[in-house]
Structure 1
Amino acid sequence: GSSYKGKIFIHLLAQTLRMMLSVSAAAHKAEGKVLPGESLEKAMLQLKKLQATKPAGRGIYITKEIPKKTRDLFELFCVPFPKKQIKN
């Protein structure tokens, strides 16, 4: 019942986000900005490498250095860069 409806809702959200990213990437193609390997999956794998660590005893997360290719993807998708420090 409700578990099935929840799974469908999550799937709908994921597909909506995927379509938004795909449309954003297509809009920037004319500017010469393209996805790595022309693949949204490869772009997602690259973004998955972005990490934040939480030092013991501190209420913040610290993001690691963001590589240029990843910064380019943030710009391609019109997403602001994450802050260096994120409060918990």
Structure 2
Amino acid sequence: MRDLKLSELPRRVAAIVESVEDAMPNDAIARRLRELGFVAGERVELMAAGPFTAEPLLVQVGFTRFALRRVEAARVRVAMAGDPA
């Protein structure tokens, strides 16, 4: 199974969230990502990226879409959906 960051995921390829990395104890950004639905086992897909700096990233988790900065998306660890465990 190939482990990568959400920010590295190719566009329109389904993946499964493995974890959200905390940069420090009680990390507000990591907590907010989990509250938005970036939790282990959830299906996620990178839909699009901005035109010039490839920011923001349009990410779909479940049936909801969010705009994330690359540094935020880099905290979400994913595995390709078709990979065996």
Give the TM-score, by structure 2 length: 0.32
Rg: which structure is higher? 1
Structure having the larger proportion of residues in strand: 2
Alignment TM-score, normalising by the size of structure 1: 0.31
